Structure 1
Amino acid sequence: KLVVNPEKIKSLKDVKGKKIATPQLGNTQDVAFLNWISEQGWKVDAESGKGDVSVVRTDNKITPDAYKSGSIDGAWVPEPTASKLVSEGAKVLLDEADLWPDKKFVITNVIVRQDFLKEHPEAVEAVLRASVRTNRWIEDNPEKAKAAANAQLKTDTGKALPSDVLDPAWQSIQVTDDPLAATLDTEADHAVEAGLLEKPDLTGIYDLTPLNKVLKAEGEPEVDDAGLGVE
């Protein structure tokens, strides 16, 4: 999401000339923001972040403090950082999901080393089965899942998220068994256009055979590799 200081940025065109944070150079949100900037006809040097918009690579942990201090005017960030900024008075100017077909795009995939998959297919299937079943449980028990996630955050970080951050953040998160392979290909193209990558050959990056085996056994629809599967 693109979340901004409403006193400094009232419309999308006002983003030009402002300082906007992304989590890090070349990450999902950084590439998305650079691509969006390009689509506006503005110029930014991808490596330095300097140009018509100042792209400030900032760790999500300190982005809220940077916003409160006024050192940034907004941020293109994932949840729960976006909702944390909103709790500090920022406004959502653009939801990245609105830029994608069906409002879905890949952020996180399950990956495994090829040698491990070959040597321990049962273990990989067990992990995937647990993931699929957990996703079903999350969908069927959203409030319990939200509470469980927040309890784990407290265990991991020592601090749970307040409800004014957790509730809107949770609504923006989608769990899915589908790796959304086609959107990974598009994201790679965006990184190429931004000057961060040479054109990669992603053929073979997905092997969805174990996942589809699990999905079929669980009575769920199989998913597609968008032509990027192993041959």
Structure 2
Amino acid sequence: MKSSRGAVLFHSLSRVAALCVTLLAATVVSYPAIAQAAAPEEIKLDYAYYSPESLVIRQQGWLEKEFAPDHTTIKWVLSLGSNRALEYLNSGAIDIGSTAGLAAVLGRANGNPIRAVYIFSRPEWTALVVRRDSPLKSVADLKGKKIAATKGTDPFLFALRALHTAGLTRDDVEIVNLQHPDGRTALASGQVDAWAGLDPHMAAAQVDDGARLLYRNVDFNTYGFLNAREDFIKEHPDTLARVLKVYEHARVWIGTHPDETAKIISEESKVSLPVAKLQLSRNDFSQPQPGTKQIDALKAAAPILTQEQLVKPGTDLNQVIDALIDVRIAQPVIASAGGK
């Protein structure tokens, strides 16, 4: 009798154990499919002369290698300024784009569905530039003068903030809306009195034209943001994390390969090597994680958008900034790469 009962008990336990193994196996097999969705057929992102990481990644083919097993096409689109990158993001021409921080705030405040997910650099990439022989000595001297600037970009907003330091507004000057390289040309030819420059064009004006920086203020240079469309973040969070992993690799690589990076900037931007080195020297790559520091800097800068009536009356810019900065995706990527 005992032997019979033991056999029945053993048989029952065996069935339970087998069922557990089956359920465990099913869980293990199904989990990866849930945790990591398939990559899209195409990833559209920009490259910009003011974003060294984008130039390095594109030149090295690192994104293409990362997504080769998924048969995902990488489509690169050149952005000549934050205004172009924001236009491309808003229209869906790109999924991921690089802009200045305050320009991203302006874009989101005006309905651009983006979030800032990574910091590609903390640059001093803009200043007010004049010709070598210019009689202008201070921002106050710009009253009644022509200033070239690309509307909707950090240099444009920098120029407005600089004017405010001397008690001036854009009504006291004539702002000539030109893309960054055209602004440099207009300054050199005497069509404008000053230019809100952007590297590498600003560095080229200094090195090649002997141009002078009339006013510089690193605190008025907002961070370099890598932004993603909200629908892309929602539909492809794993893909975005993999893109940020490549950006993080590029950030670290730049720190250990400054000469090679300068050469890539020189070749891609079609500027001399000394110009590329000057541009690179004005970038701080040590703060890739968006967070409180960027939020505080943007909230300090944001009043210019209201003062100059660049956003709708009643816009809560603090709320816009809080919604813009997205810390979630970059955190584990940077941590796993050993970044700060």
| Structure 2 gap ranges (5+) | 1-126
Instruction: Please give the per-residue CA displacement for 1:50-84, whole angstroms capped at 9, x wherever unaligned.
Output: x2x22222111222221222111121121012122
Q: 1:217 to 1:164 in 2, by over 3 A?
A: closer
Tell me which residue corresponds to 2:48: none
More helix by share: 2
- Residue in 1 aligned with 2:186? 66
Partner of 2:288: 177
Matched, 1:213 2:332: yes
1:143-186 deviations in whole A, cap 9, x for unaligned? 11111232333xxxxxx212343232222233341342332333
Superposition map of 1:87-126 within 5 A = 87-97=208-218, 99-100=219-220, 105-106=222-223, 108-126=224-242
Distance 1:219 1:163 in 2: 31
| Count, aligned residues | 203
Answer 1 or 2: which has greater strand percent. 2
RMSD: 2.1
- Answer yes or no: is 1:189 the counterpart of 2:306: no
Flag structure 1 segments of 5+ consecutive residues without an equivalent.
46-50, 154-159, 222-231
- Residues 148 and 183 of structure 2 are in contact (CA less than 8 Å); yes or no, is this contact kept in structure 1? yes
Structure 1 or 2, whichever has the larger Rg, is 2
The change in CA–CA distance for 1:42 and 1:126 in structure 2 (over 3 A counts) is: same
Give the alignment's TM-score, normalised by structure 2: 0.55
Alpha-carbon contact 1:19-1:55 (below 8 Å) kept: yes
Q: Percent identity among equivalent residues?
A: 23
Does the C-alpha gap of structure 1 residues 117 and 44 become closer, same or farther in structure 2, counting only changes over 3 Å?
Answer: closer
Moved more, 119-128 or 177-186: 177-186
Question: Which one of the candidate residues 239, 249, 258 is aligned to 1:133?
Answer: 249
Out of 143, 166, 169, which is 1:43 matched to? 169
C-alpha displacement of 1:219: 2.1
Q: When the two structures are superposed, what TM-score results if normalisation uses the length of structure 1?
A: 0.78
Relative to structure 1, is the Cα distance of residues 73 and 211 closer, same or farther in structure 2, using a 3 angstrom cutoff?
same
Moved more, 197-206 or 121-130: 197-206
**CA offset at residue 131 of structure 1?**
0.9
